[in-house]
């Protein structure tokens, strides 16, 4: 019955702790009961009792029983204080001033109560020690010394444990973020696969190729060539953790060529990439998501269509360590679905936060006189080449 109640109490206590604290309690329990750790406090109390026996032989006017009681109480309180700080370190965080005041104050109170009890044991008034200035001085000095040692011990252990806790918590958070990033990247690859190579897209494109082949075979051949180039560039990137600007630009050119065949004169586009940024690493599929967003929510809803301009550049002449990926369209603008923060844009924001933290961002603005501009600002990681001038591809509306 008692064991059952103890186990229930232990479970409630453990449930109120964090995972790191529960692990520490289980480790201590394993050490204390199963690995013989209980021998250490027993040995310490035995040494303390021996020291009390030696102290009783000194001219302190203190019997062995009194010195043993005093020494063992001191050691037990210190052990208890150390264990309390070891397992309850979080409650001391930010409370150092209160601890510095309460420690000596409680020690003084305990010393006064102890002196009163000693007076009763000796058969005198419990407040006689107040009339003995030398004894009072010794009691206050000993209590303050004890309070200082107690406070110092608790503060040191709690401070070290809080630092350890913060480091472990940061490590667990980093592992969780890494796990989330891996899952997010896998979901992004699947989403990209679904968005860019889903069956209706392939069937519609092949259907257009079939219709063109009946009337003008050269157009059909060009469309099929664009489709093959798109698939060749898109499919490998889905398996990679990172892509280069060159790879994404090739995929975007192929995609926009296919879209222009379908939309005709309603779509004009350009892709401009400086040669010194072609090998810059970027998250795969991020640009194509913005381009598809521009086509779907900007160009297609507008009866007259519009332009899609894709560019990559340094953030500024003085900010060579950052690059800007820009997708601008002259379509329906922010009044369309593109400005509502859809799944594609939310996905990009989450990936940027997971990959770069606060070092990257997605900016959405209106285009003039109408349209939508999406800019992704990224830190320029290693891998970019440093040569050449800008190279661009311009396709006029037909």
| Residues 221, 282 share a domain | yes
Which CATH number fits the domain that encloses residue 381? 3.30.565.10
Using an 8 Å Cβ cutoff, are 233 and 350 in contact? no
Q: Would 183 be classed as within a structural domain?
A: no
Kindly state the tokens that stand for 325. 């990926």
pLDDT digits (tens, 9 = 90+) for 215-252: 667 777 777 777 777 777 766 555 566 788 998 999 89
Q: Contact, 197 vs 234, CB < 8 A?
A: yes
In the listed set 148, 177, 206, which residue is the last one of a domain according to the structure?
A: 177
Contact between residue 55 and residue 71 where contact means Cβ atoms under 8 Å apart: yes
Distance CA 392, CA 396 (A): 13
Task: Quickly list DSSP for 74-92.
Answer: HHHHHHHHHHHHHHSGGGG
Residues 117 and 213 in one domain: no
Q: What is the DSSP string of 287-332?
A: HHHHHHHHIIIIITTSTT-EEEEEEEEEEETTEEEEEEEEEEE-SS
Distance (Å, rounded) from C-alpha 327 to C-alpha 376? 9
Q: Which domain holds residue 42?
A: 11-177
Residues 292, 390 share a domain = yes
The answer to whether residues 296 and 367 belong to one domain is: yes
Residues 163 and 210 in one domain: no
Four-residue CA torsion sign, 307, 313, 315, 321: positive
Last residue of a domain, one of 147, 177, 207: 177
Domain shared by 164 and 299, yes or no: no
d(CA 298, CA 338): 7
Q: Under 8 Å CB-to-CB from 355, ≥6 apart: which residues?
A: 181, 283
Distance CA 341, CA 347 (A): 10
Q: Which helix (H) or strand (E) holds 34?
A: none
Residue 52 lies in a domain: yes
Residues 295 and 255 occupy one common structural domain: yes
189 within a domain of the structure (yes/no): no
User: What does the radius of gyration of the chain's CA atoms come to, in whole angstroms?
Assistant: 37
Residue found by looking up tokens 């037990």 in the block: 76
Q: Does 275 lie in the same domain as 337?
A: yes
Is the same domain home to 235 and 117? no
Q: DSSP label at 248?
A: H
Name the H helices within the chain: 2-15, 19-29, 39-57, 64-87, 96-121, 133-196, 199-215, 217-237, 245-263, 286-294, 343-356
Alpha-carbon distances, residue 219 vs 39, 151, 214 (angstroms): 88, 85, 10
Looking at the structure, tell me whether residues 162 and 250 fall in a common domain: no
- The answer to whether residue 170 sits within a structural domain is yes
Instruction: For residue 384, give the 3-state DSSP assignment.
Output: coil
Which residue, 177, 210, 242, sits at the end of a domain?
177
Sign of torsion over alpha carbons 186, 191, 192, 194: positive
Confirm whether 356 is domain-assigned. yes
CA distance 331 to 267: 10
pTM of the model: 0.47
Same domain flag for 369 and 246: yes
155 in any annotated domain: yes
- Round to whole Å and give the CA distance between 85 and 103: 13
Can you give the pLDDT of all 398 residues of the chain as single tens digits?
556 765 676 677 667 666 666 777 777 777 777 777 778 778 888 888 888 788 777 776 667 776 777 777 777 877 777 777 777 666 666 666 666 777 777 777 777 777 777 667 667 777 777 777 777 777 788 777 777 777 777 777 777 777 777 787 788 788 877 777 777 776 666 565 555 445 556 666 766 776 666 666 777 777 777 777 777 776 655 556 678 899 899 989 988 988 888 888 899 999 999 999 999 999 888 888 899 889 988 899 888 989 999 999 988 765 558 899 999 999 887 654 444 456 678 878 888 888 888 889 999 999 888 888 999 999 987 543 333 333 344 443 33
> What gap in Å lies between CA 79 and CA 76, rounded to an integer?
5
* Tokens linked to 114: 């102890």
In a domain, 5, yes or no: no
With respect to residue 63, please indicate whether it lies within any of the assigned structural domains. yes
Structure tokens at 259: 């879209």
On whether both 164 and 203 belong to a single domain, the answer is: no
Total number of domains constituting the chain: 2
């Amino acid at each position: 019955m008692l064991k059952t109640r103890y186990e229930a109490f232990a479970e409630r206590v453990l449930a109120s702790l964090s995972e790191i604290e529960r692990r520490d309690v289980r480790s201590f329990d394993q050490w204390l009961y199963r690995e013989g750790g209980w021998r250490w406090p027993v040995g310490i109390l035995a040494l303390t009792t021996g020291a009390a026996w030696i102290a009783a032989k000194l001219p302190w006017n203190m019997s062995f029983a009194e010195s043993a009681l005093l020494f063992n109480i001191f050691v037990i309180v210190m052990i208890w204080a150390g264990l309390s700080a070891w397992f309850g370190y979080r409650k001391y965080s930010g409370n150092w001033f209160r601890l510095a005041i309460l420690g000596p104050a409680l020690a003084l109170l305990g010393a006064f109560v102890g002196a009163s009890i000693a007076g009763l044991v000796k058969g005198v008034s419990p407040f006689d020690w107040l009339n003995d200035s030398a004894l009072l001085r010794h009691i206050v000095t000993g209590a303050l010394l004890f309070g200082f040692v107690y406070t110092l011990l608790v503060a040191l252990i709690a401070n070290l444990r809080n630092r350890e806790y913060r480091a472990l918590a940061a490590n667990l958070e980093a592992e969780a973020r890494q796990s989330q990033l891996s899952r997010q990247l896998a979901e992004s690859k699947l989403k990209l696969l679904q968005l860019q190579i889903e069956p209706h897209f392939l069937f519609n494109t092949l259907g257009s190729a079939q219709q063109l082949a009946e009337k003008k075979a050269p157009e059909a051949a060009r469309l099929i060539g664009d489709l093959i180039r798109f698939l060749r560039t898109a499919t490998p990137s889905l398996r990679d953790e990172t892509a280069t600007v060159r790879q994404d630009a090739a995929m975007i050119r192929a995609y926009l060529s296919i879209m222009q065949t379908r939309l005709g004169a309603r779509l004009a586009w350009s892709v401009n990439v400086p040669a010194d940024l072609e090998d810059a690493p970027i998250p795969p599929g991020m640009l194509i998501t913005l381009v598809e967003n521009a086509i779907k929510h900007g160009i297609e809803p507008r009866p007259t269509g519009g332009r899609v301009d894709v560019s990559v550049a340094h953030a500024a002449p003085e900010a060579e360590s950052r690059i800007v990926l820009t997708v601008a369209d002259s379509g329906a603008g922010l009044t369309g679905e593109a400005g509502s923060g859809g799944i594609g844009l939310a996905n990009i924001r989450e990936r940027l936060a997971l990959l770069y933290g606060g070092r990257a961002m997605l900016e959405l603005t209106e285009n003039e006189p109408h349209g939508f501009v999406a800019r992704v600002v990224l830190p320029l990681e290693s891998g970019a080449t440093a040569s050449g001038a800008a190279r661009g591809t311009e396709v006029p509306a037909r």
